[in-house]
Structure 1
Amino acid sequence: MLMRPFWHRRTGRPAHPAAGAPGRPPRGVFPRMGTMTVLPPQIRQQPVERAFHGHVFSDPYEWMRDKDSPEVLAHLAAENEYAESATAHLAELRETIFGEIKDRTQETDLSVPSRRGGWWYFARTVEGGAHQVFCRVPAVSTGDVIADWTPPVVEPGTPMTGEQVLLDANAEAAEHEFYSLGSFDVSEDGELLAWAEDVTGDERFTLRVRDLTTGALLADEIPGTFYGSFLSPDARAVYYTVVDESWRPHQLRRHELGTPLAEDVVVHEETDPGLWLGAGLSADRRWIVVEAMCSEFSEQLIQPVADPSAPLQVVLPRTDRVLYEAEPLLLDGREQILLTHDHDAPNSRISLMDPADLGRPVAEVALRDVVPASDTVRVNGCAVTATHLVVSVRADTTLRVRLLPLAGLGTAAQADPVEPAFAEELYTASVSAAEHDAPVLRLSYTSFTTPPRVYDVFVAGATGDDAALPAEPLLRREATVLGGYDPADYAVERDWATAADGTRIPVSLVRRADLDPAAPAPVLQYAYGSYEHSTDPAFSVSRLSLLDRGVVWAVAHVRGGGELGRTWYEHGKKLHKTNTFTDYVAVTEHLAARPDVDERRILVMGGSAGGLLVGAVLNLAPERYCGALAAVPFVDPLTSILDPSLPLTALEWEEWGNPIEDAHVYRYMRDYSPYENVRALPYPPVLAVTSLNDTRVLYVEPAKWVAALREASTSGEPVLLRCEMAGGHGGASGRYSQWKDTAWEYAWVLDRMGLAGA
């Protein structure tokens, strides 16, 4: 099912300026931001003491946690006013960058239709519309597999014969400041649509169901649901999850359409506060698969779709602490369980398991490997079709797809895997659709310089006439970049830095190909480095606005991410977390030593857990950066992790450790917590952005951090806080609002690099 944990989230110029030209002022004396005629908001201090393990921390700004306080709301409004006033001189540049993003984006666009059953499904975006319009047209079956599975050509702005609008998200969002979808599922027979929408940004969704044959909205409306709702294969019921008081998904419920909500059945409840509950259908839609998991182990349970009253069966017990995913399937007519798991395999392996062994400890289960363990290849997950196993792997830091026929799987007759080949060294390839009975796999491809592409791969054995099938992936679409974009104008480089302990750290660099290597360029250095999340090569239209002004985009693939396998992640979490921060500084030092990099103009950027990195790095080496951009930054981690009543806290103990029970963990986190370690240092200019309704990183963390930085910094550089008052963890909703936010942030970045006039 390619299920992975849902943890956290978060650009024409013909030539570049001569960045780093002789006569540049030294770091710290670039043009100051605006006239600064408006002073920052005055923030009162009201110390609140926090005592753990014999240590007392006096927090002067904890009072700002009261989200409903008129004083807090007034303060956030004052911060927004200050940020706008302090950057008023950048208003024209912001509009210019927004215009560049807009002008390069084909506003009237569409996705490549995907076939499911008797319909082709796709989404349109229309000029002036911030959201997508979800549509479908009837499919035909002629017996010609290539013709039948070739997507119809959809012309922008021109409806096709038989086109049906399933959901116009622009219309749905019209009365709301924020709008986001949490699920979208059409029944197997194509007659019902279930979707869930969030109109505040707090990631709590209202689930609705529409009869697509009549267009009528059913009376079934379920508030307070979480991500991932889905219809049962017979379209008689909808499955959904709800959250507990700490906003952790903990219950899977089944709602029979047409019945009162009070009669909904709790299919499964997860009582461990450290585990996250999710569910879905098996690939062949015969089983409900329920998953309770954290970042270190999981437990999956299965239930036959045909018998909703049957007890759920545990696949492997959680007591084994195996991190795994289960996929029930029929193999040569026999029921089997396909496991992607890390038992005796830190980078995971894929094995077959006999259903007779359900519930037994893994040591008692006879596992037959189909993808063996590897020290160099990370197995991320798999999808199953009627004929193939589709495996997602990470090799040489990049995400790839490998195909294995089901025929002979797990036996001596098993075929070798086939991997679609691509010309670029650094790219990202993944499966975007793998319908069980379809003869086609849909792949997504992108790189730092290649806009997103959609490929179809016809798989052997699905039609009985393999010789007639195309041998290579068929390119169905490449995203259009307007304004004469040419990937040859840009260069991508893989570099390696060395950490203090000798570890080699991969670094990805993207720049204009015509930059003069003798003229040192400014660098925007980005990293995330947590939750085994890898910052994979991906194209960005907005990034072109930086590159074309001579900025080099650098990604530091620090420990804590997943670029070099599970060990890379484990060496950047819990009591190894500081490796993430020191790796980042080591990358900065490496870049600063390059002759083509201007060491005075390196700016640190990260978001969410990457914002934690920004805060920690500033405490380690503030003098190395000309600025810091922190998006929804997790900068007060210890306070949050010490309070199990806060959203998602208990789930985080597997990432950071449990400072409540372990004094050593407490001391370790206290020593790197950005907020608690702010002190008299020459901090560079800082821009922190947050959202009032963010439930993953509460607004109060950056609000407190900004206040502490202003109080302690010896540099006199401005520290700004920008708060989206109607948004969530991803900021404002809708593409235009997001483009404006990006333009705001990039204008600030360019100003800090002395490029505001470029």
Structure 2
Amino acid sequence: MEIKAPVAKQVPETLEIHNDVRVDNYFWMRLSDEQKEAETPDSQTQDVLDYLNAENDYADAVMAHTKDFQTSLFEEMKGRIKEQDESVPYKYNGYWYITKYEEGKDYPIYTRKKETLDAPEEIMFDCNEMAKEHSYFKLSGINISPDNKYAAFGVDTVSRRIYVIKIKNLETGEILPYEIVNTTGGSTWANDNKTLFFTRKDEQTLRSNRIFKYKLGEDTAAASLVFEETDESFYAFVYKSKSRKYIIIGSTSTLTSEYQIVKADTPDEDFKLFQPRVRGMEYSIAHYDDSFYIITNADEASNFKLMKTNENTTEKEYWTTVMPHREETLLEDIDIFKDFLVISERTNGLNKIRIQSWDGATDYYLPFDNETYTAYTTLNIEFDTKVLRYAYNSLTTPSSVVDFDMVTKEKTVLKEQEVLGGTFDKDNYTSERVWATAADGTKVPISLVYRKDTPKNEATPLLLYAYGSYGSTIDPYFSTIRLSLLDRGFIYAIAHIRGGEYLGRQWYDDGKLLNKKNTFTDFIDCAKHLVKEEYTSPAHLYAMGGSAGGLLMGAVVNMAPELFNGVIAAVPFVDVVSTMLDETIPLTTGEFDEWGNPKDAEYYKYIKEYSPYDNVVAQAYPNMLVTTGYHDSQVQYWEPAKWVAKLRMLKLDTNSLLLRTNMKTGHGGASGRFESLKEVAEEYAFLLDLEGIVH
């Protein structure tokens, strides 16, 4: 019996700007938050719910023959995870903090021990208990007061990244009767143990735009506004310096940043502007001793340089250079210690960790010896220590957490990720980095991993993943979940396309705004390279990306559908023109420097040329699985829903087109550590089924 796909009704909506007319037949799918939250749905809401549920039912029917396989994949992936597990302890302000997981439980347990690891365990938060009444649960932003008595924390039970901040008395276990609503979840205590700074969001756009100060014991309505960011392209946030001396308010946009400071001992004083914003100038600050250290791109330092200034003279005119700009190396971050400065940088796409002593006697790099690894500093909260903590993994090597003695250069592996199940041996896998040539001659790197016994030929299945936006770099990382593909003969590849910062800041600049199409053509050229070099063929090549990477998928299937047998587009940003024209939608105003503002005719024309929804045409498309979350605040559910509806009307093939909407979650999917594996199991079953792999 033939399973019939849903057909969404068409209600033409005429949209006009710059003397250009677009007709959107599925504009009606957009609901307001009020409509979604109403107890009784109105007729439009009911129509949307009926359509989304019909698509879910259709996906269930099409994938029904893989249900047992999905279950076995889920159990297989879950079986590799050490259920009874805990993090490496870290010490802060007299306490050791540990995050634990217990067998059969989805959520973390946050604990601490006073002074020594032999001390009695204090359970601060058992998220398994806290999540019991909720289909979605996320605890975020745990922040301990300087006297160790109170913990402020944020809770989201909807998955729209809107948190309620609560405060717990860690001595009595009491949750205090104060709730601060509509926040980012994060907060920071002043040194008086009673003043709490936090960030509120605009209720409609969800832009974090206002910093408040709350005094413990007062009604939360009495919280006072400290700063409001009125530029709609900026986001505001607040934190305490690692030195614990300053409370810092930051304001950032895609291209510009600005900070204000006040001493944490005197939180009621006015904040002092560190350096006024200058469009195009980015900087970040870290305090040490009597100085601030500044990472900045000022004065055309596109890959950033390190500067410093006295804490009493913070304006740019007083900044002096510590580490100059380097054309070939991107300065990413620093960690400051009493005797050492640790620099995180990137050269030729590879992470490097550099250690310098303040007295100039020591300057060296940690040794890493392959091309498909990821290394980064982790929690380094204490100042007065000679030990650096960092993490390392590669496409073939599970994650490890390492304590490194910066004086003796001895390293202690504190924890190696265990891969359970008894079948994993890292010597069975190999990785490599290859370079594709883009249409404009640019060399684009690709990281690959596969089993050593996997043949490389035109019958080999290959999954090509990428993101390619916001300067976000997808480093080659180890995944126990991915083994379910590798062990069934797949090659997994990451295309380090322009739009990320894998090859430095220019790599990002060359993949945004009026260069955005480079991101898409780079991915296509990477796919063509892998086919040309006979790693795979179009009949066995698959693509995957999420969010802005879902935009990538949408553009690629319009531009080169013949290259791929199947595509997974997760929470895809595909209705770019309409979304960027609507400043009421969360994230829009802060993203004009990433995509351009289509109210400007030049950007409108350019965005419209690649916007996936606007470029669906009557042609054959690959097999496609599209996923979304009904409560997604970052990419609203109606973008993928409209896109799938339009694809159904125009595509000329009989390939699968499935829309899976999680009606309970948002952008990040399911909240439990195992529940989310069920979503991955469906994605993998979709790919493996296309290969005829059924177990």
With normalisation by structure 1, the TM-score equals 0.88
In structure 2, list runs of 5 or more residues that go unmatched: 37-44
1:723-751 alpha-carbon deviations (Å, 9 max, x no partner): 01111111111011101110011100111
CA contact (8 A) 2:538 2:565 kept: no
* Residue 165 (structure 2) aligned to one of 207, 210, 214: 207
Superposition pairs for residues 36-55 of structure 1, below 5 Å? 37-55=2-20
* Residue 370 (structure 1) aligned to one of 316, 319, 322: 322
**Take 2:146 and 2:312, find their aligned partners in 1: how far apart are those partners?**
30
* Residue 429 (structure 1) aligned to one of 370, 375, 383: 375
**Take 1:122 and 1:138, find their aligned partners in 2: how far apart are those partners?**
11
SS of the residue 1:217 aligns to: coil
SS of the residue 1:564 aligns to: coil
Matched, 1:342 2:318: no
Matched, 1:91 2:67: yes
**Take 1:575 and 1:103, find their aligned partners in 2: how far apart are those partners?**
46
**Take 2:455 and 2:84, find their aligned partners in 1: how far apart are those partners?**
37
Matched, 1:523 2:462: yes
Match of 2:42 in 1: none
SS of the residue 1:628 aligns to: strand
**Take 2:329 and 2:277, find their aligned partners in 1: how far apart are those partners?**
25
Shift of 1:650: 0.4
Moved more, 223-232 or 624-633: 223-232
Note closer, same or farther for the CA distance 1:656–1:521 as it changes in structure 2 (3 Å cut).
Answer: same
Aligned CA-pair RMSD: 1.5
Superposition pairs for residues 44-83 of structure 1, below 5 Å? 44-66=9-31, 68=36, 69-83=45-59
CA contact (8 A) 1:400 1:428 kept: no
Matched, 1:671 2:609: yes
SS of the residue 1:71 aligns to: helix
SS of the residue 1:421 aligns to: coil
* Residue 439 (structure 2) aligned to one of 492, 500, 507: 500
Superposition pairs for residues 174-189 of structure 1, below 5 Å? 174-189=132-147
Match of 1:272 in 2: 231
How high is the sequence identity, in percent, across the aligned residues?
Answer: 37
**Take 2:557 and 2:576, find their aligned partners in 1: how far apart are those partners?**
16
Match of 2:632 in 1: 694
Match of 2:338 in 1: 386
**Take 2:508 and 2:481, find their aligned partners in 1: how far apart are those partners?**
29
**Take 2:310 and 2:14, find their aligned partners in 1: how far apart are those partners?**
55
Note closer, same or farther for the CA distance 1:529–1:457 as it changes in structure 2 (3 Å cut).
Answer: same
The letter of the residue matching 2:297 is D
CA contact (8 A) 1:614 1:628 kept: yes
Note closer, same or farther for the CA distance 1:320–1:745 as it changes in structure 2 (3 Å cut).
Answer: closer
SS of the residue 1:567 aligns to: helix
The letter of the residue matching 1:522 is P
With normalisation by structure 2, the TM-score equals 0.95
**Take 2:180 and 2:506, find their aligned partners in 1: how far apart are those partners?**
42
CA contact (8 A) 1:241 1:252 kept: yes
Shift of 1:120: 1.2
Shift of 1:223: 1.6
Matched, 1:417 2:363: yes
Shift of 1:354: 3.3
CA contact (8 A) 1:386 1:436 kept: no
Shift of 1:161: 5.2
- Aligned pair count? 680
**Take 1:459 and 1:352, find their aligned partners in 2: how far apart are those partners?**
23
SS of the residue 2:275 aligns to: coil
**Take 2:534 and 2:682, find their aligned partners in 1: how far apart are those partners?**
30
CA contact (8 A) 1:635 1:702 kept: yes
1:532-584 alpha-carbon deviations (Å, 9 max, x no partner): 00110211111000000001001111100110000000000000000000001
Shift of 1:128: 1.3
Shift of 1:40: 1.4
Match of 1:18 in 2: none
Match of 1:560 in 2: 499
Match of 1:329 in 2: 288
1:399-453 alpha-carbon deviations (Å, 9 max, x no partner): 232222233xxxxxx3453322234332111121112334132211111111111
Matched, 1:458 2:458: no
SS of the residue 2:186 aligns to: coil
SS of the residue 1:218 aligns to: coil
Match of 1:149 in 2: none
The letter of the residue matching 2:681 is A
Superposition pairs for residues 110-149 of structure 1, below 5 Å? 110-140=86-116
Shift of 1:233: 3.0
The letter of the residue matching 1:426 is T
**Take 1:491 and 1:175, find their aligned partners in 2: how far apart are those partners?**
45
SS of the residue 1:505 aligns to: strand
* Residue 671 (structure 2) aligned to one of 712, 733, 745: 733
**Take 1:263 and 1:320, find their aligned partners in 2: how far apart are those partners?**
35
* Residue 236 (structure 1) aligned to one of 176, 179, 194: 194
SS of the residue 1:714 aligns to: coil
**Take 1:572 and 1:715, find their aligned partners in 2: how far apart are those partners?**
31
Match of 1:444 in 2: 391
Note closer, same or farther for the CA distance 1:234–1:442 as it changes in structure 2 (3 Å cut).
Answer: farther
CA contact (8 A) 1:384 1:436 kept: no
**Take 2:656 and 2:538, find their aligned partners in 1: how far apart are those partners?**
21
Matched, 1:353 2:318: no
CA contact (8 A) 1:679 1:712 kept: yes
Shift of 1:518: 5.3
Shift of 1:102: 1.2
**Take 2:527 and 2:297, find their aligned partners in 1: how far apart are those partners?**
34
CA contact (8 A) 2:100 2:110 kept: yes
**Take 1:637 and 1:125, find their aligned partners in 2: how far apart are those partners?**
40
Superposition pairs for residues 482-493 of structure 1, below 5 Å? 482-484=420-422, 485-493=424-432
Shift of 1:598: 3.0
1:474-497 alpha-carbon deviations (Å, 9 max, x no partner): 110001101231111111010000
CA contact (8 A) 2:153 2:186 kept: no
Shift of 1:689: 0.3
Superposition pairs for residues 213-232 of structure 1, below 5 Å? 213-232=171-190
**Take 1:298 and 1:734, find their aligned partners in 2: how far apart are those partners?**
35
**Take 2:673 and 2:103, find their aligned partners in 1: how far apart are those partners?**
11
CA contact (8 A) 2:56 2:659 kept: yes
1:197-249 alpha-carbon deviations (Å, 9 max, x no partner): 10010101111111111111112221211142222233212221011131100
The letter of the residue matching 1:482 is L
Match of 2:687 in 1: 749
Matched, 1:658 2:597: yes
**Take 1:38 and 1:252, find their aligned partners in 2: how far apart are those partners?**
53
Match of 1:5 in 2: none
Match of 2:40 in 1: none
Matched, 1:101 2:81: no
SS of the residue 2:365 aligns to: coil
Match of 1:551 in 2: 490
Match of 1:297 in 2: 256
**Take 1:355 and 1:429, find their aligned partners in 2: how far apart are those partners?**
31
Shift of 1:73: 1.3
CA contact (8 A) 2:402 2:414 kept: yes
CA contact (8 A) 1:420 1:473 kept: no
SS of the residue 1:600 aligns to: helix
SS of the residue 2:176 aligns to: strand
Question: Which of the pair has the greater relative contact order for Cα pairs under 8 Å at 6+ separation?
Answer: 1
* Residue 576 (structure 1) aligned to one of 501, 515, 518: 515
**Take 2:345 and 2:288, find their aligned partners in 1: how far apart are those partners?**
21
SS of the residue 1:433 aligns to: coil
The letter of the residue matching 2:330 is R
In structure 1, list runs of 5 or more residues that go unmatched: 1-34, 141-151, 153-159, 408-413, 461-469
CA contact (8 A) 1:522 1:599 kept: no
